[in-house]
Amino acid sequence: MGTRMQGLTLARTFAACLVLPFATPAAAQDVSIGRTVGSLIEFAKGRNPDYAALQAEADAAAERVTPAGALPDPRFRVELRDITKFGEQNPSLAPSRVGSTKYLLSQELPWFGKRDLKREVAELEAASARSRSSGTWSEIAARIKTNYAQLYYVHHSELLTREVLDLMRRLERLAQLRYSSGLSPLQDVIRSQVEQTRLRSELLALETEQHHLLSRLNALLGRPAAAPLEAPEGLRPLPAPALLDYATLAERVREKNPLLAADTSKLQAAEKNRELAYRNRYPDFTVGAGPIQYQSAIREWEVMIELNIPLQQSSRRSQEREAEALLAAARARREAGTNQALADLAENLAGIVAARRSESLVTDDLVPAAELTFKAALAGYETGKIDFATLLDAQRQIRQARQERIKAQAEGQARLAEVERLLGEDL
């Protein structure tokens, strides 16, 4: 009778544990870093070195716009003529003592439209750099979200494993009690001990994996690898199915994906560079004016115009073909990027649907069935109707079911992170 009462108590205790929601508690208003994925992303935005580097490069590209469209600096030239006055004096560099002094102020003038094209190319390259910076941040945020989801899975798998380990200790006591009463063989006790050893080994693996994930997250946060983080408590709810329409999101990807925007700017810059290459068929000018000084008086003025003669047509044709090839490469790169982004979108949307269905199936069917199976197996073992191996199998099934639920939740979050990376914004 005592053995049966102990078994019933154990069953009620385990059933109570199952009833407790495995969902995460509501986060406090003042969230510590690591407790939610939002706290990690907010922390990383101002500290991630990769993002900071891309921002600095984008700022540098923006500063190239003004110089690209500016005129070259004017030039000032001084010529001292006949510094010996036909040999009548020692050489002199004083303008009042030489035969004459010529002053020339000149300015280079590119062919019409070249300056505007150069400025537009620089503006488009700056826009591309800014988009690449945004794309880098989207990728960093996605990695943080994915690693957080994995950390959530590992952490809660560890909690679940510890719960099961505690259950196995109770089952061992039950097996020992039945063995001492001559109702079960010693093999049942040994099996429970072996199962506990296996669970402890799994705990070591989970702890190691958790350490790796914490190191990865700290690297993304710009922190030392061993810096502490709060345990993950909750996952974001998945968007409603109506918000995950492929056609709608595909259009948003085309419009807002930062890397596609960077490719578009690169394509437009390549078009401008091609036009600039064709403008190089025409000469650039240099104009100048200046006086000529004799002794201490200015007696003459000169006006000068100079232009380069574009005779090296083979070189210019090569430059034009190069520009055409780079333009074709930019078009192909943007098309490939668009196709890949849309394919990734479709794949991850399907992954979200699958994860949502898997979680629902496990929660509504598999977990309740596993709970009933375990309760029945425990009652059967107490009455001697089933062996301990069957009870262990029932325990493993219920653990696997609960673990699959956590895995489905984490998988949905990882898929959502990829969709948001493609969109360049949160849903």
User: Would you say residue 121 has pLDDT above 90?
Assistant: yes
Residue 100 in domain: no
31 lies in some domain: no
**Beta bridge partners of residue 294, listed in sequence order:** 297
Question: In this structure, what are the phi and psi dihedrals at residue 100, rounded to the nearest 5 degrees?
Answer: -160, 160
CB 145 within 8 A of CB 234: no
- CATH number of domain containing 369: 1.20.1600.10
| Mean pLDDT, residues 334-344 | 94
Q: Does residue 163 sit within a domain?
A: yes
Q: Name every residue whose Cβ is closer than 8 Å to that of residue 324 and which is 6 or more positions away in sequence.
A: 274
For residue 1, name the pLDDT band (cuts at 50, 70, 90).
very low
- Binning the chain into helix, strand and coil, the percentages to the nearest 5 are 70, 10, 20
The answer to whether residue 35 sits within a structural domain is: no
Q: In this structure, is residue 84 part of a structural domain?
A: no
Asked if the structure places residue 86 within a domain, the reply is no
Q: Does 82 reside within a domain?
A: no
- Domain membership of residue 80 (yes or no) is no
Mean pLDDT of the chain: 86
Q: What is the pTM of this model?
A: 0.80
Q: Do 105 and 376 contact (CB within 8 A), yes or no?
A: no
Look at residues 51, 92, 84, 422 and name the one whose alpha carbon lies nearest to residue 257: 422
Residue 32: per-residue pLDDT? 61
In 232-341, DSSP assigns E strands to: 285-294, 297-307
Say if residues 420 and 251 touch (Cβ distance below 8 Å).
no
Over 50: is that where the pLDDT of 31 sits?
Answer: no
| Cα atoms in the Cβ-side hemisphere of radius 13 Å centred on 282 | 11
Q: What is the pLDDT of residue 338?
A: 94
Domain residues for the domain of 158 are 2-26+44-71+110-423
pLDDT range class, residue 387, cuts 50, 70, 90: confident
Instruction: In whole angstroms, give the CA distance from residue 236 to residue 232.
Output: 11
- Number of structural domains the chain divides into: 1
For 247-269, how does the pLDDT look when each residue is reduced to its tens digit (9 = 90+)? 999 999 999 999 999 999 999 99
